[in-house]
Structure 1
Amino acid sequence: MKILKYIVYIFLVLVILYSSWVSYPSMQQDKKEPKDKKLSTPVIINAGQNSGNGNLVGMQVSISGIDYSTEHRFYDKLETLMQHAKYNGFLNHQTTVLFPEHIGTFLVLNGEKPSAYLADDYKKAISSMKLSNIINYYLNYFNSSSSTKDIETLLKIKAEAVRDTYYKVFSKLAKIYGVYIVAGTIVLPSPIVRDGKIYIREGKLENVSFVFSPKGDVMELHSAKKTLSKVESYLLNSDKSKTTPLIQSNLLPYTSAIIISHDTLGNSSYLLNTEKIPDAILSPSSILKEEDLAWYFSKNLSKFNPNIKEVLKEKNSPTDLWLTYSLPQWIFFSGARIGLQVFLNGHIIGLNLSGYSYYIMGTEIDVVPSREDSAIINVWN
């Protein structure tokens, strides 16, 4: 009996110590953490003239792991860009703001230890998060089915918290600034929209984009990525039967279609199953700097260009390939006049995100000159 009591006592002590470690406020670590210095004035590109027909604002976001450490930091990062856009006269009741792909996905780091969100390698970040969520992690680990079960498990057990933070931040921004927001993308399990809210269900993970109205509600339409990157293909579900949604409102004098990232690299995404031709194509995007896009292009574009292998040799970077075979190549299939593609850039848990944001209007293309800085692209309709 004494031995049993001793074991129970030791167990309780361990539980208390673990609970204290997990719940120790991350804000206490702020004194030891490097502050984010990238709050300088963003690069500004302004195209066209204000004719009273609304405008599109694309946000190239340069971000780091520390920006995801708390909800407050994440909100401040995005609101800084919104403030600059407002100061430059870009925000009004006929504005649609576009944020990059996966801007919501990295909220999985929210509330974690500095050893996770400041990690210089994603494997170290995963190890830290597994320890912080050890009980819930192993209760759900064997329900995961992908080849990267550890990442899938973490994304699923934190899905509700990630969704809640994502919703609160973008809903608040949309209401405060009175604009429509295409809130980049976020990875969630089988999400649906009901009564202006995002609900998640048991099911496979999807990379999805939601649109917030000026009232802060989520609009019924949402877009799911069909053409997954090589990294995503190990983890996410892709439903190619889903149609491309069209953003339209009585308050907006234009319509927009959302085509996510790699979906812009082929003509099929632009053949929209809609009665109305969109005025603009909006593309939240991201590219890993180390990602080898050659496998995709050589596999999928040889039928359009028999000399694609020679083209691949001539191109210096994924960005060159992207500008050649993305919106500028295919937008005419949709009938849209304007294309806007923005990228998430920065260094997060050892991942190097790197892409040049740009707009296209007719034959005119303007590319943000830097991948290191945040940028705002404003296009008057």
Structure 2
Amino acid sequence: MRKLLYLTFSMALVAVLTSYAMWAADRPAGHYLSDLRIKLTVDQGTPGDRGNLLGIQPELFPTDYQSPARLHRKLAAYLQQAQDQGLLSEKTVVVLPEHIGTWLMISGEKDELYQAPTLAEAMNWLAASNPLEFARAWLRAKGENRLDDAHLRMKAKSMAKDYQALFGGLAKEFHVTLVAGSIVLPEPSVIDGKLKPGSGALFNSSVVFGSDGAPLGQPQRQMHPIFDQREVLAASDEHSLNVVNTPAGRLGVLIGSDSWYPDNYRKLDAQGAQLIAVPAIIVGHGAWDKPWRGYKGSSTPSSVSLKPGEVSEGQAWHRLTLTAQPPSNQAMGGVSVFMRGQFWDKPSSGQSFLSSNGQQFADGEARGARLLNLWL
């Protein structure tokens, strides 16, 4: 009798594990419908032979990331509409928002993940449908929040490969320089022209791709992650600012809250930066209009007098982001581009803007995909 019970239990366990393995391996393609429209809302300056800075504020949702091909379709549609309006040339620098590459972590997943009501539940599905990858990532996880670290780390190799193929491919397809927002990877670096993840801490990083589809220089790592992210993301060395040559001029990238630090602009000036791109994101319904929370765990620079709660989040971004505002910065132009859309219960609410010669040009409309163009 005992042998029979043991045999029955073993058979049941094998059946359960087999069913789970089959479920985890199955990746059905769900129905996909997405709005491919984008509106030019700011077109500043006069067309000339110096080129232009073009910010693309996309509107994205989890289903846009079901495959790199789907995300390509949407972003290529945006770029095609910009091209149809005469906004693309070999001297165009296109800027995409922060974390547009990070969400490649959910590519190729099961329908249950995309249909989850909350981000937390979606991440549970991510771990459940990739048990071995998640277990290996958990063992390598660092920092105070091992769970979030493991979620971000578990697909790093495929994320890096997809990121370069997608954004480098778009740059080559449309013959532009492309600032590919940002992506979270462990110690990323470009080796022999390929973006490779390492095995250390996670960094929020941005890669600039040339019109040949190849990376320009090394990834720019974020130096000052906001307080909410510091349990997971590492801060890069404060002196590690990269400036790359583009057909439109020398370009520097400040990721998110890195753009709040006046010293960063002085360092970019010292390297002759003529253009500044700020990929950014603000999460939370109506967060753009809520009181600014300050430097969120970082020390406030001595030259900044702005205090938490004194202005709204949006007003703080306009005052602190000194792109192309002389004498604080010597660049010809700058653009701050925010992600729009909603990832489960986490909507985004930033509003992109351009800067040139001490003036800022913004789009007052909050919803939908937007193009913001600055002729140099």
Query: With structure 2 as the length reference, what TM-score do the two structures score?
Result: 0.90
Aligned-partner residue type, residue 189 of structure 2: I
Answer yes or no: is the 8 Å Cα contact 1:43–1:376 preserved in 2: yes
The 1:331/1:348 distance shift into structure 2, 3 A limit, reads farther
The 1:215/1:4 distance shift into structure 2, 3 A limit, reads farther
Answer yes or no: is the 8 Å Cα contact 2:227–2:297 preserved in 1: no
The 1:5/1:332 distance shift into structure 2, 3 A limit, reads farther
What SS does structure 1 have at the residue aligned with 2:211?
Answer: coil
The residue that corresponds to 1:257 in the other structure is 252
The 1:380/1:285 distance shift into structure 2, 3 A limit, reads same
Within 5 Å, which residues of 2 pair with 1:136-285? Answer: 136-249=133-246, 252-272=247-267, 276-285=271-280
Deviation string, structure 1 residues 281-306 (Cα, Å, up to 9, x no partner): 11111112366742417974484355
Answer yes or no: is the 8 Å Cα contact 2:142–2:201 preserved in 1: no
Aligned-partner residue type, residue 25 of structure 1: R
Q: 1:20 aligns with which of 7, 22, 25?
A: 22
The residue that corresponds to 2:74 in the other structure is 77
Answer yes or no: is the 8 Å Cα contact 2:228–2:296 preserved in 1: no
Answer yes or no: is the 8 Å Cα contact 2:325–2:358 preserved in 1: no
The residue that corresponds to 2:108 in the other structure is 111
Answer yes or no: is the 8 Å Cα contact 2:278–2:337 preserved in 1: yes
What SS does structure 1 have at the residue aligned with 2:374?
Answer: strand
Q: 2:53 aligns with which of 39, 51, 56?
A: 56
Answer yes or no: is the 8 Å Cα contact 2:253–2:277 preserved in 1: yes
1:150 CA drift (Å): 1.3
What SS does structure 2 have at the residue aligned with 1:26?
Answer: coil
How many pairs were matched up? Answer: 370
Give the Cα separation in 1 of the matches to 2:273 and 2:137. 42
Q: Any unmatched runs of 5+ in structure 2?
A: none
Answer yes or no: is the 8 Å Cα contact 1:43–1:373 preserved in 2: no
Answer yes or no: is the 8 Å Cα contact 1:272–1:334 preserved in 2: no
The residue that corresponds to 2:369 in the other structure is 374
The residue that corresponds to 2:293 in the other structure is 294
The residue that corresponds to 1:347 in the other structure is 342
Aligned-partner residue type, residue 19 of structure 1: A
Q: 1:125 aligns with which of 118, 122, 128?
A: 122
Give the Cα separation in 1 of the matches to 2:241 and 2:332. 17
Give the Cα separation in 1 of the matches to 2:28 and 2:363. 35
Give the Cα separation in 2 of the matches to 1:129 and 1:331. 46
1:59 CA drift (Å): 0.7
What SS does structure 1 have at the residue aligned with 2:238?
Answer: coil
Give the Cα separation in 2 of the matches to 1:50 and 1:76. 28
Question: Is the aligned partner of 1:92 residue 2:89?
Answer: yes
Give the Cα separation in 1 of the matches to 2:171 and 2:309. 44
1:88 CA drift (Å): 0.8
1:233 CA drift (Å): 0.9
Give the Cα separation in 2 of the matches to 1:348 and 1:64. 6
Give the Cα separation in 2 of the matches to 1:114 and 1:15. 21
Give the Cα separation in 1 of the matches to 2:19 and 2:296. 52
Query: With structure 1 as the length reference, what TM-score do the two structures score?
Result: 0.89
Give the Cα separation in 2 of the matches to 1:41 and 1:288. 21
Answer yes or no: is the 8 Å Cα contact 1:194–1:220 preserved in 2: no
Question: Is the aligned partner of 1:40 residue 2:42?
Answer: no
What SS does structure 1 have at the residue aligned with 2:57?
Answer: strand
Within 5 Å, which residues of 2 pair with 1:352-371? Answer: 352-371=347-366
- Greater CA drift, 209-218 or 323-332: 323-332
1:124 CA drift (Å): 0.7
Q: 1:318 aligns with which of 313, 319, 324?
A: 313
Answer yes or no: is the 8 Å Cα contact 1:171–1:217 preserved in 2: yes
Aligned-partner residue type, residue 69 of structure 1: Q
Give the Cα separation in 2 of the matches to 1:94 and 1:256. 12
1:275 CA drift (Å): 5.4
Q: 1:334 aligns with which of 323, 329, 333?
A: 329
Percent identity of equivalent pairs = 23
Give the Cα separation in 2 of the matches to 1:314 and 1:243. 31
Aligned-partner residue type, residue 14 of structure 1: V
1:147 CA drift (Å): 2.3
- Superposition RMSD on alpha carbons, in Å? 2.4
Aligned-partner residue type, residue 365 of structure 1: Q
